[in-house]
Amino acid sequence: MAATKDAAGPLPVRRLSKDELVNTHKTHLEKQDNSPNAPRPVKQPIMSEAYPASTKSIRDLEIIPLSELRAETHHRGKGIIVKAASPPFVGAGAVSIVEDEFGNADKLAIYNQADSSILSGVPEGCVVAVKEPYYKNNGSEDDFMICVDHPSDVILLRFTDPIIPEPLRLGPLLKTAEDWKNAADRAFIEKDFPTAVFCYTEALEASEDETFKAPIHTKRAGVNLILGRYDSAKADAMASRNGGPQDWKAYFNAGRAAYGLCDYAESNKLLTTALELNPTNASIQKEHARCQARLREEETGDYDFPAMLASVTPHSVHLDRGSFLRNTRVADSAHHGRGLFATRDIKAGELVFAEKATLMPNQYEPARASAALYALMVRQLCENPSLSGPVLELYGGEYERTGAEGTIVDGVPVVDVFLVEGIRTKNCFSAPRSTLEDTRPSLPEGRQAKGLWVHASYLNHACVPNTLRSFVGDMLISRATRDIKEGEEIFQQYVPVKSLIDVRNKQFKEGWGFECGCALCAGERRSPDAKLAKRKELLDAVEKLCSKKLPGRELIPDAKIRSVDRLAKQLEDAHEHDIYDSLPRLTLIYPCNWLAAAHWGRKNHGKVVKYSMKVLRNFGFKVPDESETWDPREIYTSSGNATLMTVHVVAALRRLAVAYTALGHKEMADRSIEAAEFGYMLVTGFKNDLTTLDK
């Protein structure tokens, strides 16, 4: 974590006047893009500039005037209370001109607020409190602003809050609870849902009549459901109960809120109560049946994957499914921190777990995917504090925590955006819309969303893992690539594995702070540096000779094939038998794939078989000499080796099948196809037609 800027800086030599600030602000407002569909940019945190969120109540801080703010300073133990003196300019943040009780004016920039929050664009006249404000230079000599990065560092004050200084106090804008309710109803009709919540809250505060409050809680619960504020919706729904015949609405709304949080057991309990109170209501019956379906998925892991795939569209990737996790448990790992362990024996090909994303925006543009996930994480931690426990328990790198993250202070959870970013970078997955589509050559590269799957985040890395993950929409599917024993730790690849141990472990060290200790890396560390250098030299020579491409349908000259074959033999000799007998030889995969493709073009099917089998061997699978009879279907269960499963294994098995057919070995071809189909099921997550690879 970077050192925080707690040392007091100088007072600005000159502060811009309110008129100067307002006039400049007006020019920005005139240029503001008010298109409702324009994507809003996100200010992602720079970890080198990290500072902790305030953990104190505004009522425990010393309130200071704007004139005491010092440049480049985090004012620890201090707070300011200001009124918005301008409409907001909304971009990556919301910038307003504000003034304090003494008439001092300054610029306030609020970042990382959800669009559903009034604080995402504070209306003129509203009063806010900023806790331990950060006052920073905004580029030019006299240009400063109060910068609020952590969403919990700014509080929207109610108009009647006694902490508001008298000169800023407007008093209640409306006189009665009924007035506030009517204002909320109008805002709801206009689909201004944040204002509706604010007005319903004011109506509740202004009334002491419980019979008046109950329907207001019901209305506010409904608005919170629309906004995705499920924790608040559930609390409102339960607060609306009055012991009367309409209490079914309370349990129904609370059940829908619990469903939104993917707490299907709690949702089922609440919806069952609603159904008991109103057994003929079709809406309750429908929601109850939907919840029962999720509970069955959680219990059995029985999914209709083709139907799930068919329901995924570019505009809808969030599947209505439960998470099947009971085959695994979280426990301390001998490798790194905590990990996932099998709760029963799991056979190769079986579903290890399937998890619906905790958080995943439908954003597949690489330039925006990370920012979109970060923004969603911040929003959900603010709006649904119950997520704080599972999300904030995840590893966040070396960022120093205060221990108060997620606790409720001044009515909102403490959300530290730098911790959120640390958790995101260490735990998120890149996900295609579906792995099946991602295996198609015609699909454009790089279209990956970023998502957070909390349970899967506990998986430790191995270059030769015992599981393979795939995706359908926002569902992560994990299948066993070989037999796993009860109590055995479950591993996955964090990223595609590089051929050379020094290159891939540099990636792990820089990205996650560890060096891999899997069977492959442990074995390769026994190899002398000279051998590593030799393998690197030979692989470079092959890649240079072949331009890092595989042959297409063109006829490759014999001389070039002989040159690549000679380098491949030298590279094979550079692998020590006592180390690599039961390990993958990753540097040999490319040259053997190249040779198989080159001989394919020449219709030399015997050589295609030879080099395709070498490809399988170099991925770690146990295969015999080419002259022996063998069963390709057994490579997943009989190997005993450390193996690496990828779509290239599937391609090698398909190539074998075609070559065996051409050589008249139909039985071997059929076995190879079965093995390829099994491997493709591992890669894509469920059984699929192999011809998809050609589309």
State which fold the 209-300 domain adopts. Answer: 1.25.40
Task: Report d(CA 595, CA 564) in Å as an integer.
Answer: 7
* Nearest Cα residue to 593 out of 608, 606, 579, 604: 608
With vertex at residue 337, the alpha carbon angle to CA 335 and CA 338, rounded to the nearest 5 degrees, is 95
- Please answer whether residues 519 and 674 qualify as being in contact, where contact means their C-beta atoms are separated by less than 8 angstroms: no
Average pLDDT value for residue range 401-407: 95
- What residues does CATH 2.170.270.10 cover in the chain? 307-512
CATH number belonging to domain 307-512: 2.170.270.10
**Per-residue pLDDT, 3:** 39
Where would I find the H helices in 400-528? 417-427, 435-438, 501-512, 519-524
Nearest to 107 by CA among 136, 70, 74: 136
Q: What is the pLDDT of residue 169?
A: 86
| H/E element, 492 | strand 489-492
Whole-angstrom distance, CA of residue 258 vs CA of residue 287? 12
418-472 pLDDT tens trace: 999 999 999 999 999 999 988 876 656 668 999 999 999 999 999 999 999 999 9
pLDDT score, position 238: 98
Q: What does the pLDDT read at residue 625?
A: 74
In this predicted structure, the answer to whether residue 243 has a pLDDT above a threshold of 50 is: yes
Looking at residue 626, what is its pLDDT? 66
- Amino acid found at 293: A
Which residues of the chain does CATH 1.25.40.10 include? 209-300
pLDDT at 37: 61
Q: What tokens does 388 get? A: 């704080």
Number of helices (H) and strands (E) in the chain: give both, helices first.
22, 21
pLDDT tens per residue across span 501-542: 999 999 999 889 889 999 999 999 999 999 999 999 999 999
Q: 467 and 327 in contact (C-beta within 8 Å)?
A: no
Collapsing DSSP to helix, strand or coil, 234 comes out as helix
357, pLDDT greater than 50: yes
With beta carbons less than 8 A apart as the criterion, state whether 505 and 520 touch: no
Cα torsion for 376, 378, 382, 386, to the nearest 10°? 80
Torsion of Cα atoms, 371 then 374 then 378 then 384, to 10°: 120
Report the percentage of the chain scoring pLDDT > 90: 81
Q: In this structure, what are the phi and psi dihedrals at residue 26, rounded to the nearest 5 degrees?
A: -65, -40
- Residue written as token pair 């074995």: 523
For residue 8, is pLDDT > 60? yes
What pLDDT digit, counting tens, does each position of 589-607 carry? 999 999 999 999 999 999 9
Which residues make up the CATH 2.40.50.140 domain(s) of the chain?
A: 18-168
pLDDT at 178 over 60: yes
What is the pLDDT at residue 138? 83
pLDDT at 534: 96
**198-206, long-range: CB < 8 A, 24+ apart:** 198/118, 198/156, 201/158, 202/158, 202/159, 202/172, 202/174, 202/177, 203/177, 203/178, 204/177, 205/158, 205/160, 206/172, 206/176, 206/177, 206/180
Confidence (pLDDT) at 342: 98
Residue position matching structure tokens 């590269």: 445
pLDDT on residue 501: 93
Cα-Cα end-to-end distance for the chain: 48
Q: Is residue 200's pLDDT more than 90? A: yes
Question: Which of the 8 DSSP states describes residue 441?
Answer: T
pLDDT tens across 263-320, in order? 999 999 999 999 999 999 999 999 999 999 999 999 999 999 999 999 999 889 999 9
**In CATH, what number does 523-694 get?**
1.25.40
Average per-residue pLDDT for the chain: 92
Question: Would you put residue 664 in left (φ > 0), alpha (ψ -120 to 50) or beta?
Answer: left
Does the structure show a pLDDT above 90 at 637? Answer: no
CA distance 396 to 622: 39
CATH superfamily for domain 18-168: Nucleic acid-binding proteins (2.40.50.140)
Which tens digits make up the pLDDT trace of 60-110? 999 999 999 999 999 999 999 999 999 999 988 999 999 999 999 999 999
β-strands 73-74, 134-137 pairing: antiparallel
What pLDDT digit, counting tens, does each position of 228-239 carry? 999 999 999 999
Is there a contact between 9 and 70 (Cβ–Cβ < 8 Å)? yes
